[in-house]
Structure formats: C-alpha cells, structure tokens
Structure 1
Amino acid sequence: MTAPPTIPSSPTATTPSAAPLARIVRGSGPGLLLAHGAGGSARDNWGPLLDDLVTRRTVVAPDFPGSGDSPAEPGELSLDDLADRLVAAADAAGLDTFDLAGYSLGAAVAVRATTRHPGRVRSLLLLAGLAGGSQRFRLLADQAAALAEHPELMARQLLTVVFGRTWVDALPAGRLAELRATLAAAPLPAGFHAQFDLAARADVRAELARIEAPTLVVSTTEDALVAPEQHRALAEGIPGARLVELTAGHLPMVERLPELRELLLGFLAEHPDR
C-alpha cells in the first residue's frame, strides 16, 4: 500500500493517521464526495448513479474500512475518523471544496464531516439518513449482527425491512424467489459488524443546527430500517433544509432509480461551483 497523501491543513481538521480509504475517482469539474451506508460500499450504493454524476462532477467515492476495496481494520469505527478520512479522500483528489452526499450511515458521516470541516462543503444531500437516538434502530442493528451467520434468515430480513413493501409486493413470485436466493448467497462485507455497530452508536442531532450549507434531505417513506422520523429529524435540525419524500424502502437506488437520479442531478444543478 502506498504512503498516505499529504493532507492540506484546516483549522478544524484532524489529519488521519490511518491508511487512506480505497476510493472511486471519476469525472471532471466541481467535486462531489459520496459516503455510503453500513454494510454497503461506494459501488454498491452509488454505482447505479455514477455514470450520470461523472458527467457533471469529479466524483470521489471512498469505501469505508471493510467495504469494497478497503480492508477491515481492528477495533471500533469512529464517526470522527470516518468523517476526516472522507475529507482526506477529497484532499487527495485535489478538491478544495465539494458537494457532499451521504446515504444511511453515510449521512451521519457527512453531517460530521460538514461540522468538522466548515467551509469545505458547498451543498449537502442526505439520503435515507441516520440522525441517531433511535432505540428501535439499535435493536435492528443488533438483530442484523445476530443474523450475519444465517444467510437465509438475513435474506428474509432484507426483504421485509430493507426493501419497501410496495416494491416487494409488486414483484412476481418467481422474481421474489430469485432475489431471495441471490441475497442468501451474497457474502457480507468484512466490515459489516463494525459498520452496523457504529450506526447503532452514531448520533449527530446536536450538531445539525451548525450546518450552513444548502441541504436536501431525501426521505424514503417505506423505510423500515432507518425510519422516516430519522430523516425528518435531519431536515428539521438543519437550518433551511428542504425535505423531499420518495415512496421507497431503504434502497431507493434499486426501487426508484429514475426519480432518485432526477432529484440528485437537479439539486446539484442548483449549486454550481462557486
């Protein structure tokens, strides 16, 4: 592994001492930094949108430890550390300022990055985002960890909690059976447990009022994993934030890709490089 890049200093930045995160870097123009969700990866969560995004932005999409091409690391993950390493990935790509989009746990990481590195974020998009403080989510995270060694039960959990009821109910029986088998056969990333443990501990509610960047919060209204109340907490806590709802479960990039693409590209168009 190559040595970590030199990170430009910032009044509030904490220079990461850990190895740089593996990342996708594509496109040209103003920067767009992407933060993925727990148990996902940059390509899993943002891949369906990348071809559209790179025509308008220099996209930097890191993999958190134990996801994608980033190896797992010992010990607990820290929201501060992930936020700093996310910004370090933008630094390594030569991005001084950037738009920032965070999905699920990545939304909490994006919030923390915005408050720890003021002035760097031009605009903020939070998708199906985690605000924190939900005992129900902690129970779901514990359940996910318990099911990790039981692929068939995990597949059922994904189909009933992660995917939206409208989308699942509309699937033909054969397609549902095929999807269930695919989910049961898919290996979990090495960082699955550590990332869900962090998601259960993460809480960014107290810092939302400090965010000054224009913010769009996209709420997935049939989300049974990160409940819509969490999305609304983000929108209500960030001054001037706009809330848009999508009828989908926790994976709108699967269930409502055209609408999600339109929302994201439209929001980016509202905030060109300044």
Structure 2
Amino acid sequence: MFHGYRPALGDAPTLVFANSLGTDLRVWERIVARLPDSWGVLRHDKRGHGLSAARATLSIETLTDDVETLLDQYRVGDFAGVGLSVGGLVMQRLALRRPAQMTHLVLSDTAAKIGSPEIWNPRIETVLRDGIAAIGAAILERWFAPAYRQTEDFALWQAMLERTPAAGYAQVCAAIRDADYTADLARIAQPTLVLAGAEDSSTPPALVRAMAAGIAGARFVEIGAAGHLPCVEQPERFTAELLGHLRG
C-alpha cells in the first residue's frame, strides 16, 4: 500500500488522513503545506486508488484495517484523525477502534450512511463497463463549485479521477453502499469537528449536519465557495478550522 509518513517532532501532534473516492493522498497537499513543519503526517492511497494495489475483498472495515496496519508499523501514538467522504467513514470506525489513541476527529463532507443501492449500483455497472471517464463530468460537478471548474487547477483533479483504476473505484463504491454506521455515531467520544462544502451535492450540507447532530458535542462548520473537496478549493479556511479544533 502506497503511503507517506512524516514523524512528529517533540510533543507535536500527528495527523492521520483518509481520502475520498476517486482521489489519492495528493488531495491533502494544500493542507499539509499549511501545517507546522514539526507536526507528524500519515497519508495513504486506499486500496485500488493511486499507487495502492487492490485487494480481493474490500469494505469500510478492511480499509480501516489498512490504516491500523500503518499506525502499528510506524508505532504512532496519539493522533488526530481527518477523513474526507469515504475517508470519513473510515475515521468513524477508527475512532471506535482506537479511542485511546485518537485525540481529535475531523470529518469532512461525509455521513454515517452515504447514498443507497439505487445510486451506487448503476454507477458501479457503468464504471466497470465504460470506465470512469463515462461519468467523470457528473462527478466533477459534484466535487467542485462552478467557479473552481473554470480554473486551470480543475484539469489536475479531472486527471486524478479519470486515472483511478475502474475496478478499484467500483470496489470502494460497493464498500460505501454497504456501510451504515448511524447507530454508532453516539459512541464517538472524541472532540469532533464536522466540515461541509456549501455547494457539495455528493454529501449535501444538510446530510453532513445531520451526522454532526448524532455525535455528542460535535461542531458543524459550512465552508462557502466549495463543493465536495473543500480541502482543495478552500485550503486556508479548511486548515484554519482544523488548527482551531486541535488547539482549542
């Protein structure tokens, strides 16, 4: 599994990131670049994405297994979990598996249950038959606010999406389809920050806000001029909220 690790210096915190569907660890570049140099960072390409090989079977639980393997490999102690979209589902599970290690939780543009079989099954069939490019335009409309889609940056993320292996993408779609952790939200005890792009139509703000309401003490923040990837479109605001949460 492809990953990148930077150990923390002294008493600085370590952040463990989990990416969204159709992206690799580079989705966090603009956030990592704004963190203090002393902070630890652990990023990875989930199975079937980026430079990570797929596995025979995949679920949110097995994706969480992979993160735990990396935590153990690098002997990471306390850490803050930061999850985007499907990465948010992974971090919800990790919060319950590693309650003593995860000191803070940040969930961005995610929910305890995302979509339904009626949404995911046709997408899986199309991707496996015709490739991701066949649905790329529709996905990118949900990912980014209209103004951002007119920038030169936009082509970078389009390329990232369309180069994701179809089989790996479809596997993660099925993992999302089969996950429902609504009943477990009340068990999350970490101080939790929940972020949502105001123009996100993949996980609309109302859905993300409802998830936040299920986590005791969670703080919900809506980020303007951003779609499903506010860490890309509004990295300064995203980082400011992240730092405020960890230092608060």
Q: Normalising by structure 2, report the TM-score.
A: 0.85
Is 1:238 matched with 2:238? no
Instruction: Return closer, same or farther for 1:79/1:184 CA change in 2, 3 Å cut-off.
Output: closer
Partner of 2:181: 204
Q: Distance in 1 between matches of 2:157 and 2:115?
A: 31
1:185 deviation in Å?
9.0
Partner of 1:83: 64
Q: Over alpha carbons, which structure has the higher Rg? A: 1
Q: Distance in 2 between matches of 1:182 and 1:64?
A: 18
Equivalences for residues 57-96 of structure 1 within 5 A: 57-75=39-57, 77-96=58-77
1:72 partner letter = A
Is 1:124 matched with 2:105? yes
Q: Distance in 2 between matches of 1:262 and 1:92?
A: 30
Partner of 2:163: 187
Q: Distance in 2 between matches of 1:59 and 1:161?
A: 28
1:81 deviation in Å?
2.1
Q: Distance in 1 between matches of 2:227 and 2:180?
A: 22
Check whether the contact 2:196–2:228 (CA below 8 A) recurs between aligned residues.
no
Check whether the contact 1:131–1:230 (CA below 8 A) recurs between aligned residues.
no
Q: Normalising by structure 1, report the TM-score.
A: 0.78
Check whether the contact 1:33–1:61 (CA below 8 A) recurs between aligned residues.
yes
Partner of 1:145: 124
Is 1:213 matched with 2:190? yes
Check whether the contact 1:205–1:233 (CA below 8 A) recurs between aligned residues.
no
1:188 deviation in Å?
2.0
1:188 partner letter = T
1:62 deviation in Å?
2.1
- Any idea what SS the aligned residue of 1:89 has? helix
- Any idea what SS the aligned residue of 2:193 has? strand
Partner of 2:4: 24
Partner of 1:53: 35
1:105 deviation in Å?
0.4
Partner of 1:227: 204
Instruction: Return closer, same or farther for 1:146/1:122 CA change in 2, 3 Å cut-off.
Output: same
Check whether the contact 1:123–1:214 (CA below 8 A) recurs between aligned residues.
yes
Instruction: Return closer, same or farther for 1:212/1:153 CA change in 2, 3 Å cut-off.
Output: same
Partner of 1:249: 227
Alignment partner for residue 21 of structure 2, among 14, 32, 38? 38
1:199-236 C-alpha deviation (Å, 9 max, x unpaired): 12221111110111100000112111122233112210
2:34 partner letter = D
2:121 partner letter = D
- Percent of residue pairs identical: 29
Check whether the contact 1:155–1:183 (CA below 8 A) recurs between aligned residues.
no
Check whether the contact 2:13–2:79 (CA below 8 A) recurs between aligned residues.
yes
Using the TM superposition, name which of 252-261 and 49-58 deviates more.
49-58
Aligned residues: 241
- Any idea what SS the aligned residue of 1:129 has? coil
Check whether the contact 1:155–1:184 (CA below 8 A) recurs between aligned residues.
no
Instruction: Return closer, same or farther for 1:97/1:27 CA change in 2, 3 Å cut-off.
Output: closer
Q: Distance in 1 between matches of 2:156 and 2:37?
A: 34
Instruction: Return closer, same or farther for 1:119/1:265 CA change in 2, 3 Å cut-off.
Output: same
Instruction: Return closer, same or farther for 1:197/1:79 CA change in 2, 3 Å cut-off.
Output: same
Q: Structure 2 unaligned runs (5+)?
A: none
1:245 deviation in Å?
0.4
